[in-house]
């Protein structure tokens, strides 16, 4: 693959923390969309219900603890 030197990036809000993620795998993503991010790469666009359910699950199993250094 050849790239022109630019990579589509987005700021994503997750648990009150803003991080950057590349949008190369989801070129159709637009501002306001919910995206599933893995190691800094948005891998799919999801609907709001799925996003909230996934966030709640991660919260319940303690996967969000690392976002808050006070925990």
- d(C-alpha 46, C-alpha 35), whole Å: 6
To the question of domain 9-67 being in CATH 2.30.30.140, the answer is yes
**What pLDDT, on a 0 to 100 scale, did the predictor assign at position 70?**
56
**What pLDDT, on a 0 to 100 scale, did the predictor assign at position 29?**
94
Handedness of CA 21, 42, 39, 3 (dihedral sign): negative
**What global pTM score does this model have?**
0.75
Q: CA distances (Å), 70 to each of 36, 37, 59, 66, in order?
A: 25, 24, 15, 9
- d(C-alpha 54, C-alpha 48), whole Å: 10
Encode the chain (71 residues) as per-residue pLDDT tens digits.
Answer: 445 668 889 999 987 889 999 999 999 999 999 999 999 999 999 999 999 999 899 889 988 777 665 54
């Amino acid at each position: 693959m050849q790239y022109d030197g630019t990579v589509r990036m987005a700021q994503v809000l997750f648990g009150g923390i803003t991080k950057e993620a590349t949008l190369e795998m989801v070129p159709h993503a637009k501002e306001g969309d919910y995206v599933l991010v893995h190691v800094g790469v948005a891998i799919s666009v999801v609907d709001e219900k799925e996003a909230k359910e996934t966030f709640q699950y991660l919260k319940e199993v303690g996967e969000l603890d690392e976002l808050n250094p006070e925990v």
